[in-house]
Amino acid sequence: MGRKSPNWDSTGLKRGPWTPEEDQKLLAYVQHHGHGSWRSLPQKAGLQRCGKSCRLRWTNYLRPDIKRGKFTLQEDQTIIQLHALLGNRWSSIAAHLPKRTDNEIKNYWNTHLKKRLAKMGVDPVTHKLQKAILGSAIAGTTTIDPKNLSNLSHVAQWETARLQAEARLVRESKSRGGHHQNDHIHQLDNSDHQLLHTDQFDTKFSRTASRPRCLDILRACQTLVLPNLIKNGDENEYDPGYGLLSFDNGGSYSSKNINTPTVSTTMGFEGQYCDDHEQSDLFEVLNNQGTTGYEAGDNNNNGWIREVSNSYGNNAIGFCGSDRGDHDDHEVNKKYWDEVLKFLSF
DNA sequence: AACACCGTCAACCGCGAGCCA
DNA sequence: CTGGCTCGCGGTTGACGGTGT
């Protein structure tokens, strides 16, 4: 494929396409010594390249854990959904696609997916159906394949949830005077705090201000709460309906009756409880991803997730069968919970 | 056959964040 | 606190192959 013609910059370093010999030198050096400082690597490896060029060549091409070739349908869908959620954060998207590089995904998006969405009448930036097309469809002058319409609507809903959450985050960060993103875990115990202040946590939770916080909360559940339960031998309390996934605004229904940290204490609001926006964001995201179970205020067991506010006088979220006395069915709850996490690519 | 145009994607550029002295 | 250095990220470029005229 396309390559820039080889040339040399003013400092005598080579630019442009890599030769097989150069690849071999770089590969052999990194496999033997690791890359260490990229700046000093070229000299040590006998390459007349700048460190940046070497790093790029390694991360985008030579690294052994790279999958090349055609993207699968599953990968296409993942990229589209993540793009709706994360925007052009290619490295974050790549983190969800094992063996694909951010550069590859970015190129694939720009050359294939963006055009495909546009063709289907979806704005690739907003992931919303273009008004003109929707309008003409409604007027009957344009027909849209119902299957596509369903997919597009799904994608658009994700984006709507994302935009709402982002807007609220901006509002909050302004009104709270720029509190640290980790504020929302202030009520966890010391061991949780230690766990939180790892690079992994910082990368996942702190550095991306625009991610809907409800996703952080779900991550927090999995990263913080479950390991604690297992550590304490309490995994039988792995009951999203009562504990892990209780969005508790107060009132009689509460997870406080089990001896585990609860999500409601990790929300980042002053005081202990989440607010309605926070809860509805999560509902929206989970519901929009295609599960059919959530019905606000509905206590009939007809899906995965539901609000239980009307029967308990507060705002909580539970899985079917987990909030009306049959909460002993841990296996079922765990299954639902795992499915949600899996879908959200945790 | 010759030329123009288009699509692809490896490679480059510039910026910003983190780290450290 | 500051400034220099390094690295990673997202946007952009441009060579090359394919296709159309």
Mean pLDDT of chain A: 53
The pLDDT of residue A69: 79
A111 pLDDT more than 60: yes
A43: CB within 7 A of chain C nucleic strand: no
The pLDDT of residue A4: 53
DSSP structure class, residue A113: I
The pLDDT of residue A35: 82
- Categorize the per-residue pLDDT at A32 as very low, low, confident or very high, splitting at 50, 70 and 90: confident
The pLDDT of residue A39: 84
The pLDDT of residue A6: 57
More confident residue, A267 or A114: A114
A2: CB within 7 A of chain C nucleic strand: yes
Closest nucleotide (C1' vs CA) to A207 is B17
More confident residue, A206 or A135: A135
User: Which of A62, A51, A66, A69 lies closest to A14 in space, CA to CA?
Assistant: A51
| Interatomic CA distance for residues A341 and A160, integer angstroms | 20
Q: Looking at domain A7-62, which of 1.10.3210.10, 1.10.10.60, 3.40.605.10, 3.10.450.50 is its CATH number?
A: 1.10.10.60
| Interatomic CA distance for residues A104 and A109, integer angstroms | 8
The distance of Cα A260 from the centroid of its chain, to the nearest Å, equals 25
> Alpha carbon of A122 to those of A162, A175, A219, A274: distances in Å?
16, 34, 29, 34
**CA–C1' span, A210 to B15, in Å?**
19
What is the mean predicted confidence (pLDDT) over A256-260?
26
| Interatomic CA distance for residues A117 and A112, integer angstroms | 9
- Categorize the per-residue pLDDT at A282 as very low, low, confident or very high, splitting at 50, 70 and 90: very low
- Report DSSP letters for A205-226, one per residue: IIS-TTS-HHHHHHHHIIIIIH
User: Over the stretch A122-172, which tens digit does the pLDDT of each residue have?
Assistant: 777 777 666 555 555 445 554 444 444 444 444 444 444 444 444 444 444
**Pairing relation of β-strands A7-8 and A14-15?**
antiparallel
What is the mean predicted confidence (pLDDT) over A268-285?
36
| Interatomic CA distance for residues A303 and A246, integer angstroms | 17
The phi and psi torsions of A129 (rounded to 5 degrees) equal -65, 135
A272 pLDDT more than 70: no
A89 pLDDT more than 60: yes
User: Over the stretch A33-51, which tens digit does the pLDDT of each residue have?
Assistant: 888 888 888 888 888 888 8
The pLDDT of residue A119: 72
**CA–C1' span, A11 to C13, in Å?**
21
Amino acid making up residue A9 = D
A89: CB within 7 A of chain C nucleic strand: yes
| Out of A63-77, A106-120, A217-231, A263-277, least confident range | A263-277
- Categorize the per-residue pLDDT at A10 as very low, low, confident or very high, splitting at 50, 70 and 90: low
User: Over the stretch A328-340, which tens digit does the pLDDT of each residue have?
Assistant: 344 444 444 454 4
- Report DSSP letters for A187-205, one per residue: TS-HHHHHHHTSHHHIIII
**CA–C1' span, A111 to B8, in Å?**
7
A14 pLDDT more than 60: yes
**CA–C1' span, A53 to B14, in Å?**
15
| Out of A42-46, A64-68, A305-309, least confident range | A305-309
The pLDDT of residue A27: 85
Q: Where are the domains of chain A?
A: 7-62, 73-164, 181-343
